[in-house]
Structure 1
Amino acid sequence: MPGRKKPTMPPATPAKAATINDIARLSGVSKKTVSRIINQSPLVRKDTRERVEALMREVGYAPDPMARGLAFRKSFLIGMVYDNPTAQYIVDMQYGVLDALRESAFELVVHPCDTRSPGYIDGVRRFVQQQKLHGVILVPRASEDQALADMLDEIGCRYTRVASVALGSNSSQQVITHDRDGAAEAADYLLSLGHRDIALITGPSAYRSTYERTNGFVEALRRRGLELPPERICEAGYTFESGVAAAEKLLLGSKQRPTAIFTGNDEMAAGVYRVSMRAGIQIPRELSVVGYDDSPLASRLWPPLTSVRRQTRDTGRTAAAMLIQPEDAKTLSVASVRPHLIVRDSCQPPAN
């Protein structure tokens, strides 16, 4: 009607958020139409959809995933279960998952756990059932536990496992990161520079990624005729502090120090930098260092660290995208995210 004033509503505030009824009233459509637009139904005209979506953005309306789960008898929550000491890895993984969920109806909830605790699988079961999760992304080291995967199969919860190598056959979906190949590329690079006295700082032996990276590195050296002595291999814990302890053993505790060190992640490489600086060992003139992950830390160290980029954000994005596809969709059950070496300034040929 001409001259009729359009109803308005102030932006939503934490005290009084807009509801689906408000959206229906202000847009002049039914609540059912708004619901269809939220759930991306094709039964709504394009102009109506655009108008209602613009209004939802204007007032800051966001559908409650728990309430939608009750209405549709399914959850719009994706869980991420992890036990990993590297904070940056978990942050990057979450960013990737959120990238995939951004244009969907799903939200992310996280569940840190201690896989060494005897009751952790029961804790994950409670998390899944209490949140009524649509599915779960399992991050190393939790993803490597077949008993956890079997429990999720038992209760009928979908999951995607992120792992360095293909795991049990009854896993429905996997994202493989091929850690062995990344470590082999690091070994080939150090050999190409002329290094023959090389040391390795590994992650914890309980992690499958440690096994894959260690064997990938050692086997690549062996293929080129170099056998890595046991005293040049030092186990650490994927942390800065454990990298410091391992570097002290390798650089200060032996008569002849190596000319190059490969570490299982960038945090431990930073520990090597700390010990080298204190001991007056110049990187890269006297010691070449290669890390793994290519986390933001790698480019912030001085000199910038050569590191194997394992595409963590892409991995999280891929894992989430696989999980939110309809169960009957014809999608790949196994995806690959391949690492590659990023060369910076932390390596050069050995001085002598």
Structure 2
Amino acid sequence: MMTSTGSQHVGDGSKVKLSDIARQTGYSLATVSKALNGKGDISQTARQTIDKALKESGYVRRIAPERKQRTIEVVFQDFETIWALEVLRGIIHETKQHDINVMVAESGDRQHPDSAWVEGIIERHPIGAILVFSNLTDGERSTFQSHGIPFVVFDPSGNPALDDLSVQADNWIGGVIATRHLLELGHKRIGIITGPDEMLCSRARLDGYAAALAERNIPTSPELITEGDFTTPGGYEGAMSLLENEQNHPTAIFAGSDLQAMGVYEAARQLKIRIPEDLSVIGFDDIQTAAYMGPALTTVRQPLRDMAATAARMIIDATEGRQIQKRVILPTSLVMRDSTQRIRKHN
């Protein structure tokens, strides 16, 4: 945008004032200023007259330097799920309060961004990066650090390095409270569809499940545990394998994510198994659509937006030199809806 300070030096050292142009042309100072800055609410005659006077006086418009945009980059494995949208909403809610832009990238790798993406972010030099489901190699970490770009690992797939900033939910407690809820309803044969085994959050939820069973002296049964990938197709495949045996299938399923719970619903529909009358289902995340499933999904709330906003604040605090808690773990909580009920006695 073009702006003026009200006067401008010309080549011979004299100083042209807008008040001089106003007096010379007979227009008000406000009208001269509008013409100078390209405002549209003056006549064409006035604009031409003032432009001519400015040119003849040797007045040179000064272009104010554009403020450099501040950007945080967010990298997802993919951006095809409601889960990812929930995370992005939390980040944007925080960054817009600080006049910071958000750029989204897909890495195509759940474990860590590929090197091409890392090189791209270094070239763009944002104020920081939020890496979703990501862990960096030592070389990539060194690259970010040497270029002064702070990063936060969001819901890390493994144990972050001691100096890495990270934010996650209390996945172990989430696994415990999900399983306890089903146990309190009288279920003993509780199936679980985990996420990928190499992911820390998935292992923590499975450990929480096992711990809750142990509280009731119920051993874990390998035939009740199946690995998923946190997607709806993965949940469907896992449910079909758990429910194949009509005589001995679980009376409840703990799906490691709400997206997987959607897959369980579809498998149950195809097998003509009623939820919750014949099968209780509990998810994990509490994404926006969980409350609108039929029946509404009981789930463990992972505060995704709060986690995302926290990650963005960590970047902002790092750039402004404030002290930061390096590892943040936010609490999970049970959200009871209609997809779980007390086990029927004949089961």
Shared fold (TM-score greater than 0.5)?
yes
Cα deviation 1:19-45 (Å, max 9, x = unaligned): xxxxxxxxxxx989x98xxxxxxxxxx
Residues 1:190 and 2:175 aligned together: no
Q: Choose from 227, 237, 251 the match for 2:229.
A: 237
Cα deviation 1:244-263 (Å, max 9, x = unaligned): 11111111245311110000
Number of equivalences: 294
Q: Partner of 2:151: helix, strand, or coil?
A: strand
Shift of 1:146: 6.1
Larger Rg: 2
Identify the residue that residue 193 of structure 2 maps to in structure 1: 201
2:163–2:326 contact (8 Å) kept in structure 1: no
Listed as ranges, the matches of 1:134-283 within 5 Å are: 134-140=127-133, 142-143=134-135, 148-163=140-155, 167-171=160-164, 173-253=165-245, 255-283=247-275
Q: Which shifted more, 215-224 or 294-303?
A: 215-224
Q: Which amino acid aligns with 1:202?
A: T
Distance 1:217 1:315, change over 3 A: same
Shift of 1:161: 1.6
2:111–2:135 contact (8 Å) kept in structure 1: no
Identify the residue that residue 99 of structure 2 maps to in structure 1: 105
Shift of 1:243: 1.2
Distance 1:214 1:106, change over 3 A: same
Q: Which amino acid aligns with 1:91?
A: L
Give 5+ residue unaligned stretches, structure 1.
12-29, 36-66, 70-74
Residues 1:290 and 2:296 aligned together: no
Identify the residue that residue 131 of structure 1 maps to in structure 2: 124
Give, in whole Å, the separation in 2 of the partners of 1:152 and 1:107.
Answer: 19
Cα deviation 1:112-149 (Å, max 9, x = unaligned): 1123799x542132122221111111111x14766644
Give, in whole Å, the separation in 1 of the partners of 2:110 and 2:306.
Answer: 28
Distance 1:10 1:103, change over 3 A: farther
Distance 1:211 1:197, change over 3 A: same
Identify the residue that residue 9 of structure 1 maps to in structure 2: 39
Cα deviation 1:62-105 (Å, max 9, x = unaligned): xxxxx533xxxxx6111112225761121111111111111213
Q: Partner of 2:93: helix, strand, or coil?
A: helix
Identify the residue that residue 71 of structure 2 maps to in structure 1: 77
Shift of 1:297: 2.2
Distance 1:262 1:117, change over 3 A: closer
Q: Partner of 1:335: helix, strand, or coil?
A: strand
Distance 1:274 1:207, change over 3 A: same
Cα deviation 1:189-237 (Å, max 9, x = unaligned): 1111111111001112232221111111112211221112000001112
Cα deviation 1:293-352 (Å, max 9, x = unaligned): 111221111110001110111111111011012442234333332111100011111112
Give 5+ residue unaligned stretches, structure 2.
1-18, 20-26, 42-60
Distance 1:146 1:262, change over 3 A: farther
Shift of 1:166: 5.9
Distance 1:79 1:225, change over 3 A: same
Distance 1:211 1:10, change over 3 A: farther
1:86–1:238 contact (8 Å) kept in structure 2: no
Q: Which amino acid aligns with 2:70?
A: F
Identify the residue that residue 336 of structure 2 maps to in structure 1: 343
Q: Partner of 2:180: helix, strand, or coil?
A: helix
2:122–2:144 contact (8 Å) kept in structure 1: no
2:72–2:127 contact (8 Å) kept in structure 1: yes
Distance 1:313 1:254, change over 3 A: same
Q: Choose from 306, 321, 325 the match for 2:298.
A: 306
